[in-house]
Amino acid sequence: MADKKKPNSADDRPQETDRQFLERYSIGTLMKDVLGKIVSNRPKDPITFLSDYFDSLEDQSNLVLKARNIIEMTHHSRPVFEMNVRQAYDIMLKQKVGKRLYGVNGTSYTDLIKTLCRDMPQPVTTKLLKKIECLDYEAITFDVFKSGVFTCCVLQDYVKLCEMLFNSLDFQSSGKVDKILSDVVNEQLKAALANTRTDARKIVEAGYNLGPDGLFYALERGMRSKSQLGGQTLEQFTIEICDAFLSKVKRLR
Amino acid sequence: MASDDRFSMTTEKYLARHQVLVYMEDAVAQLLEHREENSKINPIKFLCEYFNSVRDGNHTMFREYSYIHATPHNRASFVRLFWKCYRQIGKKGDLLSIQEYHSLLSLLCSDFPFEPVQKTAKIILLDDALDCLISFSDFIYAFQVQFYFEEFIEKSHEMYQSLHQTQRSPRDPVVVPSGSDDTKVHQNSHHPGDGVDATQYFRAIYPLCDRSNFSTPPVNVLKEILFNIPRVSFYGFLMAIAKSERINEHIGRLPSKAELLEGADADLTV
């Protein structure tokens, strides 16, 4: 990789002053750090990454926000995600929870979950928290932390898929989906996920039910029923579809 | 292509693709420059604002030409800036000369060279009479294409000329220079009925679009332009690119021609 070149300033003051200034604020280290993060996380848009990074750096006070930004630097399927979660946990360990006591307690853990889920409908977040929440005063181990964060990230993907599904079902682009279609899709999803056995035949069946053929027949049956149940907005649709996901989330206790 | 996935490409390629180092170096240079004006500067805040302005495309005003020219994002943002600042000229319907357009550009970038403006005029006027007046709308779309695809245009011009050489007819006039100094022969390089075979030209320039480190128009638009006509002249080709709405959308900064003059009012709002 090319060396980081510090550009020559055109002023007539001695070079020391610029260098001293940069050293005083550790700009060199800062730039090396952020460049390293860009290279390992490979964000889709490095420029936005850079502005978000410096933005969160500025806001030193909120540890939960800093942790969240680090967790969201890359997709959860990337190997570097695990390191980022570890780093986020280390940051949150600095939170003061009592007299001379620092660590991650239920309150900050819940805050982190809530902010990771900020783009989801409120009922979804509430239901999720019911499954994975911890009491305010409890100390959160890294395993619990990691599993909770991971669930949120996967749920983020799931919600995005819900939106894509909503847009395909909304073939008139009206902003609403026929409740009948939504119910049919929900039924198919729940039926496919209802199996807890890893029986090969059941898996193939589930795949068929969710594939183009199975879905087509189910949707056609639904359209033929002619009952009028009204339309659903994206938010209502997401809330219902997320039920299938949340039913699979293991309760913490 | 596997090597197009941003995770599997080399570090150098990934960084070069988004010009990360260009912006990081410029950020530090700007930080040092602003330090002289404002001794109480907060570097983190400054860097945050710098990258915000790059992200939003508001970073090219009053910058030097070398910076504006450095990346496709900068060039496109500068064109958009030009549009925002001067669109009321379009609304008033004034026609300006290329010197006047150059002056306007110089207000936004003090060392902006004259050559790109000249080349823009060539596209609009199909290489003839360079002292015609040009409308704002014609100018800005041609300027966008000339500036954004500068290297591509140069390379395709070379290809056009070499292709044209091989097709030169023996009936072309040969100029024998006489002894006196005052013979001036007007070499009109635009041959309206001549040009080159369009499909052959497409085959010549299509490899440029694959492995280049400069911006190129999308191949399907080139196909659209070159597959529907038997022959094409170079400036006819460039004019077609300039007028193409799909190319405009591909660059993604200027509105379509129908909406170009909307929102322009008497006050200079940026």
**Do A166 and A238 form a contact (C-beta atoms < 8 A)?**
yes
CA distance linking residue A116 with residue A122, whole number of Å = 12
Least confident among A175-184, B44-53, B64-73, B166-175: B166-175
Closest-CA distance, A102 to chain B, in angstroms, reads: 27
Q: How many CB pairs under 8 A join A and B?
A: 70
pLDDT bucket at B50, cuts 50 / 70 / 90: very high
pLDDT of residue B92: 84
Which of A23, A27, A60, A74 to mutate: most B Cβ within 10 Å? Answer: A27
CA distance linking residue A213 with residue A195, whole number of Å = 20
Give me the amino acid identity at B186. Answer: H
CB atoms < 10 A from the CB of A70, how many? 22
Whole-angstrom CA distances from A188 to A178, A192, A227 are 16, 6, 19
Closest CA to B27 of A51, A1, A40: A51
Instruction: Report, in angstroms and rounded to the nearest whole number, the Rg of chain A calculated over CA atoms.
Output: 24
Query: With 0-12 CB in 10 A as exposed, 13-18 as middle and 19+ as buried, what is B41?
Result: middle
Chain A, 78 to 137: residues with Cβ < 8 Å from chain B are 78
CA distance linking residue A144 with residue A109, whole number of Å = 10
**Do B9 and B3 form a contact (C-beta atoms < 8 A)?**
yes
Chain A, 34 to 73: residues with Cβ < 8 Å from chain B are 34-35, 38-39, 42, 44-48, 50-51, 54-55, 57-58
- Residue B58 CB contacts under 8 Å (≥ 6 apart), including other chains: B77, B81
pLDDT bucket at B246, cuts 50 / 70 / 90: very high
Whole-angstrom CA distances from A182 to A121, A186, A241 are 17, 6, 8
The answer, for A2 touching chain B at a CB cutoff of 8 Å, is yes
Least confident among A116-130, B18-32, B201-215, B224-238: B201-215
pLDDT bucket at B1, cuts 50 / 70 / 90: very low
Q: Could B7 and A42 be called an inter-chain contact, meaning their C-beta atoms sit closer than 8 Å? A: yes
Within 13 Å, how many C-alpha atoms sit on residue A206's CB side?
15
pLDDT of residue A60: 56
CA distance linking residue A80 with residue A40, whole number of Å = 7
Least confident among A16-20, A115-119, B188-192: B188-192
Mean pLDDT of A228-235: 81
Mean pLDDT of B37-47: 81
Buried (b) or exposed (e) across A5-35, using 16+ Cβ within 10 A? Answer: ebeebeeeeeeeebeebbeeeebeebbeebb
pLDDT of residue B175: 63
The model's pTM: 0.71
Q: Could B55 and A47 be called an inter-chain contact, meaning their C-beta atoms sit closer than 8 Å? A: yes
Closest-CA distance, B15 to chain A, in angstroms, reads: 8
Mean pLDDT of B238-247: 92
pLDDT of residue A241: 87
**Do B71 and B22 form a contact (C-beta atoms < 8 A)?**
yes
A27 contacts on B by Cβ (under 8 Å): 28, 31, 43
Helix (H) or strand (E) holding B16: helix B11-17
pLDDT of residue B188: 47
B6 contacts on A by Cβ (under 8 Å): 42, 44
A2 contacts on B by Cβ (under 8 Å): 21
Q: Is the ipTM of this complex over 0.85?
A: no
Pick the more confident residue, B1 or B198.
B198
B48 contacts on A by Cβ (under 8 Å): 51, 54-55, 57-58
In chain A, the residue whose alpha carbon lies closest to the alpha carbon of B11 is A39
Closest CA to B202 of B227, B184, B185, B167: B227
pLDDT of residue A59: 65
* pLDDT over 60 (residue B49): yes
Q: Got the DSSP string for B199-239?
A: HHHHHHHGGGGTS-SS----HHHHHHHHHS-SEE-HHHHHH
CA distance linking residue A92 with residue A94, whole number of Å = 5
The answer, for B48 touching chain A at a CB cutoff of 8 Å, is yes
CA distance linking residue B115 with residue B118, whole number of Å = 5
Mean pLDDT of A96-122: 86
pLDDT of residue B181: 54
SS (H, E, C) chain A: CCCCCCCCCCCCCCHHHHHHHHHHCCHHHHHHHHHHHHHHHCCCCHHHHHHHHHHHHHCCCCHHHHHHHHHCCCCCCCCHHHHHHHHHHHHHCCCEEECCEECCEHHHHHHHHHHHCCCCCHHHHHHHHHHHCCCCCCECCHHHHHHHHHHHHHHHHHHHHHHHHHHHHCCCCCCCEEHHHHHHHHHHHHHHHHCCCCCHHHHHHHHHHHCHHHHHHHHHHHHHCCCCCCEECHHHHHHHHHHHHHHHCCCCC
pLDDT bucket at B177, cuts 50 / 70 / 90: low
Q: Could B52 and A42 be called an inter-chain contact, meaning their C-beta atoms sit closer than 8 Å? A: no
Share of chain B above pLDDT 70, in %: 84
Which of B48, B50, B73 to mutate: most A Cβ within 10 Å? Answer: B48
* pLDDT over 50 (residue B88): yes
pLDDT bucket at A5, cuts 50 / 70 / 90: very low
In chain B, the residue whose alpha carbon lies closest to the alpha carbon of A30 is B44
Sign of the Cα torsion B154, B157, B162, B165 reads: negative
Residue B134's SS3 state is strand
Pick the more confident residue, A142 or A211.
A142
Which of B20, B49, B67 to mutate: most A Cβ within 10 Å? Answer: B20
Q: Which tens digits make up the pLDDT trace of A140-198?
A: 899 999 999 999 999 999 999 888 888 888 877 777 888 888 888 888 888 877 766 67
Pick the more confident residue, B103 or A232.
B103
Give me the amino acid identity at B48. Answer: C
Closest CA to A91 of A115, A76, A116, A108: A108
Closest CA to B95 of B135, B138, B55: B135
CA distance linking residue B256 with residue B266, whole number of Å = 21
CA distance linking residue B244 with residue B222, whole number of Å = 10
Pick the more confident residue, B103 or A104.
B103
Share of chain B above pLDDT 90, in %: 46
Structure tokens at A65: 């926000």
CA distance linking residue B103 with residue B98, whole number of Å = 9
pLDDT of residue B169: 60
pLDDT of residue B264: 60
Least confident among A100-109, B176-185, B232-241: B176-185
B51 contacts on A by Cβ (under 8 Å): 47, 50-51, 54
Which of A40, A51, A53, A73 to mutate: most B Cβ within 10 Å? Answer: A51
Q: Which tens digits make up the pLDDT trace of A26-74?
A: 888 889 999 999 999 999 999 999 988 888 776 656 788 889 889 999 9
Q: Could B51 and A47 be called an inter-chain contact, meaning their C-beta atoms sit closer than 8 Å? A: yes
A60 contacts on B by Cβ (under 8 Å): none
Closest-CA distance, B47 to chain A, in angstroms, reads: 7
How high is the mean pLDDT of chain A? 83
